[in-house]
Structure 1
Amino acid sequence: MKFVIVTGMSGAGKSTALKMLEDMGYFCVDNLPIALLPKFAELAHAPGSDISQVAVGVDIRNGRSLDEMASVLENLKASGVAYQILYLEASDEVLVKRYKETRRAHPLAKQGRVEDGIRLEREKLLYLKENATYILDTSQLLTRELKKALEQILVEEKNFKNLMITVLSFGFKYGIPNDCDLVFDVRFLPNPYYVDGLKYKTGNDEEVQDFVMDYEISHIFLDKLVDMLNFLIPNYILEGKNQLVIGIGCTGGKHRSVTLANKLFEALSDRSEYGVRLEHRDVSR
């Protein structure tokens, strides 16, 4: 029996993840009292039960009983339940924005600031995060990307290493994205902007891609970049990093950066040990 404990920060997408897992055939229960986890697992695993996949939501709403989590997990392990912990994470900035957009109150903020509630929640959930089987950072994830990641790790059972990579194209004229971990400047490549018929197209168009990649220097750069990332990514995973944003910039963020971001995404997306997403920040400007 698969037994998944879905937990993490309020606003990071636990409810959405549980709904997705339910659609994938999991029997889902949200906000089950922690003390009942072993008994629930026993009933689900009892002879004659037709439940083969279980997902249980555990979060800050469990209050003081979170302090019992270590002993409850030990009881699960002793009873032969091979549980997994899925921890959903997001940056403080994203969580604050989500709360402001939905006008919901953070469960620990009460009448205070959302930031204070988030800080306190991180402290109370630290044990679960440190013992998580999978950590998914949803800061930049679209709903379909979250679904794909869940399918990879909990349905297809791929060797997912808790790292979500965002390949992000942008234009330097609009500023470097604040969340980039690595930034690469491709303004040295021939510019399609000055070619008749390509100015108003983008790196998502085949004609622009053909123009940019028709130069040997473009292939040399891409090969060297992929080679470097193949070295860096496993080391980032070992270090415990769960979010990596790779920025590819050109002047306006429409042609060269979009083309190279698309090519880099293709080179990385066939790997199953981490998630990869693609975003073009300035392509429509």
Structure 2
Amino acid sequence: MRMVIVTGLSGAGKTQAVRALEDLGFFCVDNLPPRLMGKFVELCLASRREIKNVALVVDIRGGEFFDDLSDALTGLQQGGIKYEILFLEASDDVLLRRYKEARRVHPLSQGGDVLAGIRQEREKLRELRGRADVKVDTSRLSPAQLKEIIRSHFAVDESGGRLRVTITSFGYKYGIPSDCDLLFDVRFLPNPHYQPDLRPLTGNDRTVADYVLAPAVTGQFLHKLQDLLQFLLPYYQAEGKSGLQIAVGCTGGRHRSVTIVNELARFLRQQGYPVQVQHRDIGQPAEGDVCGSS
């Protein structure tokens, strides 16, 4: 039986994550007291219905029962039950905006101070976040994008046991992805933003890709990066890692990073790795500040 424990900050998207897991065939239980996790596993294993995939939502709504989570996880390990922790988070300002829009009360807010509740919860979950197998920052994700990320991590494994790789392009001006394992900065490459005919386009357009790939330095960089990944990925897999998050950033996330991510994805697929590509900031406007937006 595969068990996924869904947790994280209130307002970060746990409801959407559970719906996505249900669509993948998981049997989902929301807000289960940690003390009952072991008993729940026993019931699933004893059930006449063959339950192969289970997702449990455990968060601070459990109040004092949430403090039992660490002991409950230890009990699962001692019982030989394998589990994965999916941790969802978002920035303070995004969570605050979501609470205001939904007109909800934060579980830890006192006197209506939502921001204080968010910060208290973040601190309370710090250790659990460190134990998470998959961390997803939903600050800039749509429900559809979150669903695709959930699918890429928890769908029935058709990869033949190979390490699953997610490569994300992003713009530094919009923040670094918080869930990446490897991060590469390509702002040293020639910038299409300063070419008027290329500025409105993206790295998915052939003319932009040709412009970024033309200089010798780009070829040298790709060769060295591909060689590094070809060396590293088998070791990550040997250590038991099932998925790897790679992020590639330029200034605005529309041109250079998109091109490089597409090239890396093509290379890794040739090596037999299942690869998912995400262009986080490609939809941002092309017009930027004097430093360029890409």
Aligned residue for 2:140, secondary structure, equals coil
Rg: which structure is higher? 1
Higher deviation after alignment, 198-207 or 22-31: 198-207
Q: Which amino acid aligns with 2:92?
A: D
TM alignment of 1:12-91, pairs within 5 A: 12-46=12-46, 48-91=48-91
1:119 is aligned to 119
TM alignment of 1:176-191, pairs within 5 A: 177=173, 179-180=175-176, 184-185=186-187, 188=190
- Deviation string 1:139-166 (CA, Å, 9 cap, x unpaired) is 33333332233223322457779x9764
Q: Tell me, in whole angstroms, the C-alpha distance in 1 between the residues paired with 2:41 and 2:67.
A: 20
Q: Retained in 2: the 8 A contact 1:226–1:267?
A: no
Q: Which runs of 5 or more structure 2 residues have no equivalent in the other structure?
A: 177-182, 288-294
Q: Tell me, in whole angstroms, the C-alpha distance in 1 between the residues paired with 2:104 and 2:215.
A: 52
2:179 is aligned to none
CA shift for structure 1 position 55 = 0.7
CA shift for structure 1 position 264 = 1.3
Q: Retained in 2: the 8 A contact 1:6–1:55?
A: yes
1:173 is aligned to none
* Structure 1 residue 263 corresponds to structure 2 residue 259: yes
Q: Which runs of 5 or more structure 1 residues have no equivalent in the other structure?
A: 170-175
Q: Which amino acid aligns with 2:282?
A: H
Counterparts in 2 of 1:81 and 1:210: CA distance versus 1, 3 Å: closer
Counterparts in 2 of 1:282 and 1:151: CA distance versus 1, 3 Å: closer
CA shift for structure 1 position 37 = 1.5
- Deviation string 1:96-150 (CA, Å, 9 cap, x unpaired) is 2322333322111142322210121123323432332322222333333322332
Q: Tell me, in whole angstroms, the C-alpha distance in 2 between the residues paired with 1:7 and 1:118.
A: 14
Q: TM-score, normalised by structure 1?
A: 0.73
Higher deviation after alignment, 122-131 or 225-234: 225-234
Q: Which amino acid aligns with 2:63?
A: G
Q: Tell me, in whole angstroms, the C-alpha distance in 1 between the residues paired with 2:82 and 2:54.
A: 11
Q: Which amino acid aligns with 2:24?
A: M
Aligned residue for 1:45, secondary structure, equals helix
Q: Tell me, in whole angstroms, the C-alpha distance in 2 between the residues paired with 1:212 and 1:69.
A: 49
Q: Retained in 2: the 8 A contact 1:34–1:65?
A: yes
CA shift for structure 1 position 85 = 1.9
Q: Which amino acid aligns with 1:265?
A: V
CA shift for structure 1 position 64 = 0.6
Q: Retained in 1: the 8 A contact 2:166–2:276?
A: yes
CA shift for structure 1 position 25 = 0.5
Higher deviation after alignment, 205-214 or 138-147: 205-214
TM alignment of 1:192-207, pairs within 5 A: 193=195, 203-207=203-207
Q: Retained in 2: the 8 A contact 1:192–1:208?
A: no
Q: Retained in 2: the 8 A contact 1:203–1:258?
A: yes
Residues matched between the structures, number: 265
Q: Retained in 1: the 8 A contact 2:8–2:88?
A: yes
Q: Retained in 2: the 8 A contact 1:137–1:243?
A: no
Q: TM-score, normalised by structure 2?
A: 0.71
Aligned residue for 2:87, secondary structure, equals strand
Counterparts in 2 of 1:27 and 1:203: CA distance versus 1, 3 Å: closer
Aligned residue for 1:69, secondary structure, equals helix
2:180 is aligned to none
CA shift for structure 1 position 202 = 5.1
CA shift for structure 1 position 9 = 0.8
CA shift for structure 1 position 24 = 0.4
Q: Which amino acid aligns with 1:124?
A: K
Q: Retained in 1: the 8 A contact 2:91–2:139?
A: yes
- Deviation string 1:194-239 (CA, Å, 9 cap, x unpaired) is 56xx6765554334434554454554455567678889999xxx9x
Q: Retained in 1: the 8 A contact 2:31–2:56?
A: yes
Q: Tell me, in whole angstroms, the C-alpha distance in 2 between the residues paired with 1:69 and 1:282.
A: 40
Q: Retained in 2: the 8 A contact 1:167–1:247?
A: yes
Q: Tell me, in whole angstroms, the C-alpha distance in 1 between the residues paired with 2:163 and 2:107.
A: 31
TM alignment of 1:99-138, pairs within 5 A: 99-138=99-138
Q: Retained in 2: the 8 A contact 1:152–1:160?
A: no
Q: Tell me, in whole angstroms, the C-alpha distance in 2 between the residues paired with 1:136 and 1:200.
A: 30
